[in-house]
Structure 1
Amino acid sequence: MKIKKLLSSILSTNAAFVILLLFQIAFLMLAVASLGTRFYFVYFILIILDIILAIYITNKNEPIAYRFAWIVIISIFPLMGGISYLFIKLSQQFPKSLDMRNQVQTKELLVQDNDIMNELSAMCPDALNLARYVSDYGMYPVYRNLNAEYFPLGEVQFERLVEEIESAKHFIFLEFFIITEGYMFDTLSELLIKKAAEGLDVRLMYDGIGTGMLNSVKPFRNLADQGIKCKVFNPFRPMISSVQNNRDHRKIVIIDGHTAFNGGTNIADEYINRKERFGHWKDTGIMIRGQAVWNYTVMFLQLWEKAENSELQKFSPQIPPYLSMLKDDGFVQPFSDSPLDEEPVGKRVYLELINNAREYVCITTPYLILDEEMTNALGFAAKKGVDVRIITPHIPDKWYVHMIAWNNYAQLTALGVKIYEYTPGFIHAKTCVADGKTALIGTINFDYRSFYLHFECGSVLYECSVIKEMVRDFNETAELSQLITMEDCNSRSVFKKIAGAILNMFAPLL
């Protein structure tokens, strides 16, 4: 375990900054020693080149905070900063063909039913534009909600997941960012091996860093030997490349094409509170049934492998009779967000929920790293009289992220946003509810990585009864949490304030 922690520290972004600084110092010492008076000429040329690079970055179609962070780095490290930016940008990326193939397949496989869109327009007219945006630009249609079940804790979700897997008849697809050995993994492994022996198509996909750097390959080889198809997404390679930033942060389970699970819960014992790491672990999730599960099936298979549409159609949902008899309960729109395009769907869904709220917005997130656009949206909503409340962890999993969050606490609190910290421990839930009518639940954090770098997913809910359960759970969680006041923000030490402000400048790169 110590070796894993050491590797994680060596490969972290913070370590990269230290390495850059050491290279910079070494270069300056070597240059002065070898070039003498000519060093000033060389250094002048470097400054000119970095100015040109800064102008180029300023005019790039990238988030302002990201461009600003790189310009600061290039200003501090004229040599290594510029070289690092160019190297990362010119290094190997995901093939563009992957994104184009996904777009073509999605358009052909996921076609919006106009009658359903018209029904949504009649029932929830304020949400029509959001549903149309996710359908047109996210390319995932909206469906009638037949059945949705909300899970206020990871352990509750895990119990239902085991029950549903036990009843699977045809196929089981699982996709997770983090998988670690323990009770949760052992329980699922035993069950999946049993189902594979019964002839079901069982597939498990996990991220190459989120999981691949935490575990040996032995457990997955054992699953593969027992008939389970295992796939590593974007395996870690010891090289500096922007492709290493594009992680599969999704958490999806699909059963027989008619039932799907999604939320913040990974396969690790802390998520179900059988292992304590940061106090009590608060996570949330959802199970949906019906035609909407097809969205999740398609997004899973697109990352899994290259396949013809005829192959994908084999997994189209076969709705059991008891589900088709259920009464419609609002609408649901599962979607995926890819870093391969220039459309931050997850962020824009959050922004639309915040901007359209008339009474209140309830948000839970483990990380609160905001850019100017999101800060302004939250602040403007509060200024309009909307009750904006956000719950974040009291016991963080990353100290520097918590320090950045406190930097945002001060800004938001001054604007009228209410910030709560979950006193019992760590809240990992990613939810947003607007006025009790529209909600988002999934894997998307309020940070740069989720908005721009990771593969993410979630479900937008429109006028579903399950939204009331989400609001009730939020209120109960807020009662267990500490309200952060402006006095709390002002009473922090000068060191923490300065450190938070500095870290906030580089937040998009952390």
Structure 2
Amino acid sequence: MNTYEHKNDVKNSVVRVIIAAFLIIIQVFMIVNLAIHLSEYYAAFDTIMSIIAFICVLRIYGRPDNSAFKLSWIVLILIFPVFGLAIYILFGRPSLLKTVQKKFNKVNDDLNSYKIETQGYEELQQNDPLHATEAYYLQSLGFPTFNHTKIKFYSSTNDALEAQLHDLNNAKEFIFMEYHAIEDSKAWRQIEDILVEKVKQGVDVRVFYDDMGSVGFINNKFRARLHEEGIQCRVFNPIFPVLNPFMNNRDHRKITVIDGLIGYTGGYNLADEYFNYTHPYGLWKDSGVRLEGDAVDSLTKIFFEMWQTSSKEDYEDLTLYLKGHKVSGEGYIIPYSDTPLDDEETGENVYLNMIKHAVDHIYITTPYLILSDEMQRELILASKRGVDVRIITPGIPDKAVVFAVTRSYYSHLVQAGIHVYEYTPGFIHSKQCLVDDQVGVVGTINFDFRSLYLHFENGCWFTHNHAVKELREDFDELFEISQDVSEKYINTSVVLRGWRCILRFFSPLM
């Protein structure tokens, strides 16, 4: 296959991450070693640590967290009280994020003061009371239901990029782009050429990316170059060689907003492999959606949530960017987001609500399948009540260990009648869920612990529109070229089951 360039040709910040990781490991080692040293030489300290560890275990058990997270910490602390407690104090306490959470809440309080008026929910409630309950949940969290928006589903990232380039070229007022990963290569350079021209025309252009997500693709010179070109650029959660638990929480969102009239989101980042310009893992499969209409206002607010959290500047007046642009669309659309800084697992709850209401079928694509007990139970229960449940995962993995964990979940699922497929042409990165050909979700949210509990994410829920049909057509094509591996995992050896139990024990930490 032809490729544009190899990854090792791209200037990146991998060395910076290695140095930072090395220094952080040294800091952790010094703290843990001090705790172990004190416990060995001072009996009273060891006793105190054991008491604190027991109290800590009770506190963890009583928290309303996911059971898998709690179990991992509890076992670690009970087996290695001093070591486990030291690690938990450094990384496991929710209170460690309170400073960031306070700033995040302050930004959201400001954003929530800008009300978006829509009658979409009331109309959906009259036309479809069952799925209106899913919309009610999102509406209660501040994500309105829109019924004056056109939505287009893209099963091909190349088609999505072509449309995105066209819309960017027509921008008149502002362009906002937020992505987990940007690679300074072929795909991005097509975009940057347009952005530079738009800046010259007086368009307000802003780019926001996650430092960890982009670290293998770009370095700090990239941001400096954008600033020189007149493009405002910010980096989320920069990597520093200092022990910081928030470093584990990344911005995984993918959003483009153009003039408040058009918006894009989906699973693809702005790197060459997502458009098959390079093929590190075979044929890459991803997807996205284009919105045109009043639902774009929600994407604008979601963008500003992260943009303003990452700055010390005064908050901007959003009335300049919320257009309330109504078009003659079909159906109902809800862009929404999720954050690890609250007690609401929005991304997981949207999936759970859809699964609970399924009658005929549930189709899912995800690059990583690392399920909570709640998600497993709902999927298995759906299968046992006669729902056709199918899940597509990669045929060629990008992370060998995570792929082994993904496969560790197959046996339990297929024994309940769920069919698991692997995308044999390569790596499937799209995050999609379709229920009964009536409701669909496309976004950034994987079916794994990191997406559902640790990252900043976003998605788009939609129903009663043509995008649902287009999503179904995409699934039909995927089933044709993917391999049903369910029979391979009905019976497995004791040794293999034991190894997978070990992998799954550490899965909440992956």
* Stretch moving more, 384-393 or 448-457: 448-457
How far did 1:167 drift? 0.9
Secondary structure at 1:289 match in 2: strand
Q: Which residue is 2:128 aligned to?
A: 124
Q: Any conservation in 1 of the 2:393–2:421 contact (CA below 8 Å)?
A: yes
Whether the 8 Å contact between 1:413 and 1:485 is mirrored in structure 2 is yes
Task: Give the aligned partner of residue 189 of structure 1.
Answer: 192
| Correspondence 1:91-110 to 2 at 5 A | 91=96, 93-110=98-115
Secondary structure in 2 matching 1:445: coil
Paired position in structure 1 for 2:3: none
Are 1:509 and 2:509 matched, yes or no?
yes
**CA distance change for structure 1 residues 250 and 108 in 2, over 3 Å: closer, same or farther?**
same
Residue identity opposite 1:235 in structure 2 = P
The aligned runs of 1:305-344 (5 Å cut-off) are: 305=308, 311-317=317-323, 319=325, 324=327, 326=328, 328-344=329-345
1:251 aligns to 2:257 (yes or no) = no
Query: What amino acid maps onto 1:152 in structure 2?
Result: S
Query: Which whole-Å deviations, capped at 9, do the CAs of 1:6-63 have from their partners, x for residues lacking one?
Result: 77678789x97x99899979987x679x74xx76x75454333322221121112221
CA distance in 2, matches of 1:302, 1:343: 16
Change (3 A) 1:387 1:143: same
In structure 1, C-alpha distance between the alignment counterparts of 2:30 and 2:307, rounded to whole Å: 40
Alpha-carbon distance between aligned partners in 1 of 2:28 and 2:295, rounded to the nearest angstrom: 47
**1:316-375 deviations in Å (ceiling 9; x for gaps):** 2264xxx73x3x310101011111111111110000000101111111111100011000
TM-score w.r.t. length of structure 1? 0.90
- For residues 82 and 257 of structure 1, the distance between their equivalents in structure 2, rounded to whole angstroms, comes to 48
Can you give the 5+ residue segments of structure 2 that lack an aligned partner in the other structure? 1-7
How do 1:32-431 and structure 2 match up within 5 A?
Answer: 35=41, 43-88=46-91, 89=93, 91=96, 93-113=98-118, 115-137=119-141, 139-212=142-215, 214-305=217-308, 311-317=317-323, 319=325, 324=327, 326=328, 328-431=329-432
Shift of 1:474: 0.6
| Cα distance change of structure 1 residues 496 and 76 upon mapping to structure 2, 3 Å threshold | same
Contact 2:410 2:420 in 1 (8 A): yes
CA–CA distance in 2 between the matches of 1:196 and 1:507? 45
Q: Does the aligned pair in 2 maintain the 1:143–1:332 contact within 8 Å?
A: yes
Pair 144,51 (structure 1): closer, same or farther in 2 beyond 3 Å = same
Task: Judge conservation of contact 2:19–2:241 (CA < 8 Å) in 1.
Answer: no
Counterpart code for 1:285: G
Deviates more, 1:50-59 or 1:82-91: 82-91
Give a deviation string over 1:252-290, Cα, whole Å, max 9, x none.
000010100000110110000000111110001000110
User: In the TM superposition, what is the alpha-carbon distance from 1:116 to its structure 2 partner?
Assistant: 2.4
- Normalised by the length of structure 2, the TM-score is 0.90
Query: Is contact 2:266–2:444 with CA below 8 Å preserved after alignment?
Result: yes
Residues 114-144 of structure 1: per-residue CA shift (max 9 Å, x gap): x32221112222111111110112x110111
Q: Counterpart of 1:506 in 2: which secondary structure?
A: helix
Give the Cα separation in 1 of the matches to 2:225 and 2:235: 15
1:20, 1:77 within 8 Å by CA — same for their partners in 2? no
CA distance in 2, matches of 1:433, 1:110: 30
Instruction: Tell me which amino acid in the other structure corresponds to 1:219.
Output: F
1:463 equivalent in alignment to 2:469: no
Residue correspondences, number: 495
In the alignment, the residues of structure 2 paired with residue 12 and residue 281 of structure 1 have an alpha-carbon distance, to the nearest angstrom, of 29
Unaligned stretches of 5+ in structure 1?
none
Residues 362 and 372 from structure 1, CA distance in 2 versus in 1: closer, same or farther, beyond 3 angstroms?
A: same
Q: 1:84 to 1:181 in 2, by over 3 A?
A: same
Q: RMSD over aligned Cα, in angstroms?
A: 2.8
Quote the Cα distance in structure 2 between the aligned partners of 1:12 and 1:399.
Answer: 21
Between the aligned partners of 1:466 and 1:254, the Cα distance in structure 2 is: 19
Amino acid at match of 1:184: A
Per-residue deviation, 1:305 = 1.8
Q: 1:389 to 1:205 in 2, by over 3 A?
A: same
Cα pair 2:151 2:467 within 8 Å, conserved: yes
Deviations 1:82-119 (A, max 9, x none): 01211232545443333333443343323453x32221
Q: 8 Å contact 1:212–1:232 — kept in the other structure? A: no
Cα distance, 1:439–1:94 mapped onto 2, change above 3 Å: farther
CA contact (8 A) 2:38 2:46 kept: no
Give secondary structure in 2 for the equivalent of 1:79: helix
In 2, the alpha carbon distance for the partners of 1:391 and 1:110 equals: 38
Q: Which amino acid aligns with 2:304?
A: L
Q: Distance in 1 between matches of 2:402 and 2:175?
A: 35
Distance 2:386 2:96 in 1: 47
Contact kept in structure 1, 2:308 and 2:315, CA below 8 Å = no
In structure 2, relative to structure 1, the CA distance for the partners of 1:302 and 1:59 (3 Å cut) is same
Equivalent pair of 2:272/2:278 in contact (CA under 8 Å): yes
Rounded Cα–Cα distance in structure 2 between residues aligned with 1:253 and 1:24: 43
Q: Judging changes above 3 Å, is the alpha-carbon distance between structure 1 residues 359 and 145 closer, same or farther for their aligned structure 2 residues?
A: farther
| Partner Cα distance (1:10, 1:352) in 2 | 43
